[in-house]
Chain A
Amino acid sequence: MNPVLEVVDLSQNFGGLRALNELSLSVGKGEIVALIGPNGAGKTTFFNCVTGIYTPTEGQVFLHGAKGEKLLLNGRKPHVITSLGMARTFQNIRLFNEMTVLENVMIGRNCRTRAGILGAILRDAKTRAEEQESIDVSYSLLELVKLQDFWNETANNLPYGAQRRLEIARALATEPRMLLLDEPAAGMNPQETNELKDLVFYIRDNSQISILLIEHDMGMVMALSDRIYVMEYGSCIATGTPAEIRSNPRVIKAYLGEGDA
């Protein structure tokens, strides 16, 4: 399978703490991969390294372009990485709270549009057309995550689950090939989780976007993922299909601790 995201021996040190230790991972085109592990295992740190918020201490992160070119992401700025085709959501929701739902998604369009200051002042036909397109694309993404009725609300007025879906819509607006979801189901009730699962499948099936997600809801992880990576103390301790992971003794130990039995 052609990989889209390829991470080779990635390490991240914070002073004396090794938060990530020679982690290798790959996500194929159209694949849904889950990253699981106990709290503090380094999952979110991994996301921050891949998206350029942190600069990794060692190792390489590659994103494969649409034409098969291999792009090294280390040391690039977050917005460049996003424009190359990587988008993410945040564990602790980071929406633009005072802006409307539609405007939130329109920010995602920023890196795919060009209008500058002069265009904004003159409002020529090209700028207007581009803006209208951005509005319409954003609205259709809101329809995808079923938030179209709230398009003119401010983001902080949305209920929790809806805010998470809005983050996904905003990430999709950047036209990613690789989508990173950081605990998308956190704080959702079972019905919302189920809908989210359908949404993730829908995104994968209809746009061939590869998805890497961090999640603690094991039911969701097992149902969604093609493959699972398990992390503990910054290292990858197991990888495989959901069935393999479920029966892996090291994983059981990491999650449940060593029992008497």
Chain B
Amino acid sequence: MQRMLRAAFAALWFMILTLPVLGISLNTVEHSVVWRWDRILGLGAGIFALAMLWDWCFARKAAGRPVLPLPGGFGLGFALEALRSRPGLRRCALAVLAVVMLLMPVAGSFYQTNIMISALLYVMLALGLNIVVGLAGQLVLGYVAFYAIGAYAYGLLNQFLGWGFWACLPVGGLLAVLFGFGLGFPVLRLRGDYLAIVTLGFGEIVRLTLQNWTSVTGGPRGISDIPRPGLFGVSMDIAASTTYIYYLVLVAVVITIVVISRLKNSRVGLALQALREDEIACEAMGVDITRVKLSAFALGSCWAGFAGVIFAAKTTYINPSSFTFMESAMILSMVVLGGMGSIVGVVIAAFILILAPEYLRAFSDYRMLLFGAIMVVMMLFRPQGLISGERRRYHISALHGQGGRP
């Protein structure tokens, strides 16, 4: 009963708020006011239903039950648990995934291959940011700056010095790392909100520099005619070249996943996680937090540098509007949605956030609305993200016997 009252109140409030916009229409020909009560009442009924649902969800949450009567994490957790506990199944799933990914450009259209390339690039970016935000707990909002640095490194080195893709790939990564250090040093003492603001500023500085340094970067016009990556001098048409880039990105993503999962489980990775949990305790336990923070920035930014070089090669044209704050926010959303620190979760989230808008073009008007709604609902009911609590398995000699790893 109380729930109905609350919902009715919410509906009433909403009706009052939207009355001027939705309920009143001025007829400028006859100079009269038309009241659209039907719309207002319809809206009220809708809000009433939504509020009831909302309340019900919260009641379930308060009672400690899952909001959706699905096994943990929208079925994802369940599937993952099955994969984790049965190595045979896991190998099968990985093989299927590998085959699908490998056949993708052959079976899919040119358009689909292109979408997949950008999705894979975002996977790389999200995994990189995952090191800084998810593992080390340093909230960085200007991550896209490193992406821009990678892309412009290739664009400019090619334009002025004629360097090719393969020479620029390591340089782009290295430059991003250097900028990562450059950002890392001044923000060593900052944490939380303050760090977020400074990094946000950093992202804007990089973008505005690219936009206004017209003599070098071409300003808002950007850099065009960037060559696609070469393959021992073989000449390729656009379709072949796109397929080639697809495989290149795929390999890059696989390397990223392998390297990051190894890092995560290493001595360095543990120190990163400890830094996220408690900085003072971390320091008192003998961890050099300056070093750990800087390595987090460096390790996170290098992937964005690599992804930037590949992005420039894929689009052959770059300008500052590709590197706005929206992109940073998007990448951060992938990390948060996927689950801080979880590699599988972040990969899935990146695919969802990039592929869903592409395949749901029909709803493109409501894209941001849906995006916001999903984020709000996620944070309320599953703040830990799609996948959480991944735990490394340890081999303890005293328990599991000497030698031989699990």
Contacts and interface: CB of A to CB of B under 8 A. Distances in A.
Interface string B261-290: 011001111110110111011111111110
Contacts of A96: 273-274, 277-278, 281-282
Interface stretch (A112-120, A205-213, A244-252): A112-120
Nearest to B298: A117
Nearest to A107: B274
Looking at B268, B281, B285, which has the most chain A CB atoms within 10 Å of its CB?
B285
B254 to A, nearest CB: 14
B268 A117 contact: yes
B266 A115 contact: yes
Interface string A55-78: 000000000000000000000011
A139 interface: yes
Nearest to A105: B285
A98 B286 CA distance: 19
Contacts of B284: 51, 53, 78-79, 82, 87-88, 90, 94
B394 A102 contact: yes
Nearest to B393: A152
Interface stretch (B49-57, B71-79, B88-96, B396-404): B396-404
Contact of A90 (B268, B276, B281, B287): B281
Contact of B274 (A53, A83, A99, A174): A99
Contacts of B273: 96, 98-99, 103
Interface residues on B, range: 20 to 34
B286 A135 contact: no
Contact of B397 (A82, A132, A173): A132
Contacts of A173: 285
A228 B140 CA distance: 48
Contacts of B270: 99, 103, 106-107, 110
B285 A99 contact: no
Nearest to A135: B394
A146 interface: no
Given A120-B269, A131-B266, A136 B397 contact: yes
B57 to A, nearest CB: 26
B263 A107 contact: no
A134 interface: yes
| Prevailing SS type, chain B contact patch | helix
B395 interface: yes
Contact of A117 (B285, B287, B299, B395): B299
Interface in A137-173: 139-140, 143, 151-152, 170-171, 173
Given A96-B273, A99-B273, A100-B391, A113 B267 contact: yes
Interface in B116-173: none
B274 to A, nearest CB: 5
B274 A135 contact: no
B277 A79 contact: no
B301 interface: no
B113 interface: no
Contacts of B114: none
Nearest to A151: B396
Contacts of B395: 132, 135
Contacts of A119: 266
Contacts of B394: 102, 135, 151-152
A121 interface: yes
Nearest to B341: A98
| Prevailing SS type, chain A contact patch | helix
A120 B287 contact: no
A79 B283 contact: yes
A108 B397 CA distance: 19
Interface residues on A, range: 35 or more
Contact of B281 (A95, A115, A131, A136): A95
B268 A108 contact: no
Nearest to A104: B274
Contacts of B269: 120
Contacts of B259: 121
A132 B394 CA distance: 9
A120 B268 contact: yes
A79 B266 contact: no
Contacts of B280: 53, 94
Nearest to A82: B286
B267 A131 contact: yes
A135 B394 CA distance: 8
Nearest to A114: B267
A139 B399 contact: yes
A174 B267 contact: no
Given A78-B284, A82-B284, A115 B277 contact: no
A83 to B, nearest CB: 5
A119 B266 CA distance: 9
B295 interface: yes
Looking at B273, B278, B280, B299, which has the most chain A CB atoms within 10 Å of its CB?
B278
Contact of B278 (A94, A100, A108): A94
B397 A110 contact: no
A117 B269 CA distance: 9
List the 5 closest A-B pairs by CB distance, nearest first: A111-B286, A120-B266, A82-B286, A96-B277, A94-B281
Interface of B: 259, 262-263, 266-271, 273-274, 276-278, 280-289, 295, 299, 391, 394-399
Given A99-B270, A152-B391, A174-B286, 5 more contacts: A53-B280, A131-B267, A139-B396, A140-B398, A143-B398
